[in-house]
């Protein structure tokens, strides 16, 4: 995997722009859910969610991504799937947190993790700047138009199938994985551009773990830099992914039980993704991610060829 050079650009958000490409942007995740795989229930109360958002900002996050519906399937064979959250339930969870956070920190850049157009519409009206759609505009036909009218920033993720299908999906051959992601993102991109969303508003996400099984994600990471040919900055979410847990268990010979024990693995994978061209990293814990990103950025700033000298 070669080091990929990011092209500095301005990401056009709803009311402002954000420079991407020179310095990695850390997006901190706040799950306002009862069933997220990593921290379900911890931040369901608005006060707790806002405390976590402020903690992430103190630790270096520059964007807060609020999500009120888990998209995980049953995480183990035989575990029942969670019922979908209605748009009204999603908004009832999201809006108090969004409004309270903006009262505490009016300048906070807030992204909303939703695939529902109705939720996106009210969240943007309440002050969100970005819509992060895990379906890449595929699960709600109205979403692309809502984002076009709001002129907000958008993240288009690649997802293979829906969460209730993931555990039953057949494995992919190694040569199928990257073309599948590239073509899926290309289709989402065409949809966005066709409804009038500005190219400068669009960031792409390969969707690690979303319909990709275990080692398929490592193959995708090996090829991630090739997605830069689509002409848009990349966002990656590798924090606390189950394929990292599986890799640790298989290579270290012991089960990885706690979420906290996965943090080093997540930071390692995130660093590889930055060196493969990611401009934004989506994480659950910001301090270590911010420090690792700073070191990766220092490497990326170096010229391709230079003379080496001694350091004191």
Question: What pLDDT, on the 0 to 100 scale, is given for residue 171?
Answer: 83
Q: Which residues have C-beta within 8 Å of that of residue 299, sequence separation ≥ 6? A: 3, 275
pLDDT in tens, 235-257: 999 999 989 999 999 998 888 77
Asked if pLDDT for residue 76 goes beyond 60, the answer is no
The larger pLDDT score, comparing residue 249 to residue 261, is at: 249
Q: Which residues have C-beta within 8 Å of that of residue 5, sequence separation ≥ 6? A: 277, 300
Lowest mean pLDDT among 172-181, 258-267, 280-289: 258-267
* 157 and 131 Cβ atoms separated by less than 8 Å: no
DSSP annotation of 305: S
Nearest Cα to Cα of residue 237 among 279, 203, 281, 202: 281
Q: Which of 6, 212, 241, 245 is catalytic?
A: 241
**Domain 9-69+87-299: which topology?**
TIM Barrel (3.20.20)
Identify the residue whose tokens are 């069933």: 35
* 159 and 188 Cβ atoms separated by less than 8 Å: no
Beta bridge partners of 64: 28, 110
Question: What pLDDT, on the 0 to 100 scale, is given for residue 127?
Answer: 98
User: Using CA of residue 135, residue 133, residue 261, residue 44, what is the dihedral sign?
Assistant: negative
The percentage of the chain sitting over the pLDDT mark of 90, rounded to a whole number, equals 76
User: Does residue 241 carry a catalytic annotation?
Assistant: yes
The larger pLDDT score, comparing residue 292 to residue 78, is at: 292
Map out the domains of the chain as residue ranges: 9-69+87-299
pLDDT in tens, 105-140: 999 999 999 999 999 999 999 999 999 999 999 999
Question: What pLDDT, on the 0 to 100 scale, is given for residue 307?
Answer: 45
pLDDT in tens, 79-106: 444 557 899 999 999 999 999 999 999 9
Question: What pLDDT, on the 0 to 100 scale, is given for residue 140?
Answer: 96
Lowest mean pLDDT among 145-149, 261-265, 299-303: 261-265
Residue ranges of E strands in the chain: 9-12, 17-20, 25-31, 63-67, 109-113, 130-133, 153-157, 202-205, 234-237, 278-283
Average pLDDT over residues 51-65: 98
Nearest Cα to Cα of residue 117 among 96, 97, 91, 99: 91
Average pLDDT over residues 281-306: 93
* Angstrom distance (rounded) from CA 151 to CA 200: 10
Q: Which of 160, 182, 213, 282 is catalytic?
A: 282
Burial of 105 (0-12, 13-18, 19+ CB in 10 A): middle
How high is the mean pLDDT of the chain? 90
pLDDT in tens, 164-220: 888 788 888 889 999 999 999 999 999 999 999 999 999 999 999 998 989 999 999
* Angstrom distance (rounded) from CA 129 to CA 135: 18
User: Does residue 151 carry a catalytic annotation?
Assistant: no
Question: What pLDDT, on the 0 to 100 scale, is given for residue 36?
Answer: 52
């Amino acid at each position: 995997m070669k080091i990929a050079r990011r092209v500095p650009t301005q990401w056009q958000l709803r009311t402002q722009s954000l420079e991407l490409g020179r310095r990695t942007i850390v997006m901190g995740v706040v799950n306002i859910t009862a069933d997220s795989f990593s921290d379900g229930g911890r931040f369901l109360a608005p006060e707790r969610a806002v405390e976590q958002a402020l903690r992430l900002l103190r630790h270096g996050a520059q964007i807060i991504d609020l999500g009120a519906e888990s998209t995980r399937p049953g995480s183990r064979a035989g575990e029942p799937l969670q019922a979908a959250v209605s748009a009204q339930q999603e908004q009832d969870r999201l809006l108090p947190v969004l409004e309270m956070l903006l009262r505490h920190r009016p300048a906070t850049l807030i992204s909303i993790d939703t695939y529902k157009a109705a939720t996106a519409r009210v969240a943007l009206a309440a002050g969100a700047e970005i819509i992060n759609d895990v379906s890449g505009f595929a699960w709600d036909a109205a979403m692309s138009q809502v984002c076009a009218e709001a002129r907000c920033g958008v993240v288009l993720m690649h997802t293979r199938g829906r969460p209730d299908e993931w555990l039953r999906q057949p494995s992919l051959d190694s040569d199928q994985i990257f073309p599948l992601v590239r073509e899926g993102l290309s289709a989402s991109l065409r949809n966005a551009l066709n409804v009038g969303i500005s190219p400068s508003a669009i960031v792409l996400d390969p969707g690690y773990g979303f319909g990709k099984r275990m080692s398929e994600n490592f193959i995708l990471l090996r090829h991630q830099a090739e997605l830069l040919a689509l002409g848009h900055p990349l966002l990656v979410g590798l924090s606390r992914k189950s394929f990292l847990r599986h890799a640790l268990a298989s290579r270290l010979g012991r089960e990885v039980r706690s979420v906290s024990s996965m943090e080093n693995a997540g930071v390692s994978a995130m660093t590889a993704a930055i060196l493969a061209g990611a401009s934004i990293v989506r994480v659950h814990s910001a301090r270590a991610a911010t420090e690792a990103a700073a070191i990766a950025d220092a490497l990326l700033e170096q010229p391709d060829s230079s003379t080496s000298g001694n350091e004191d």
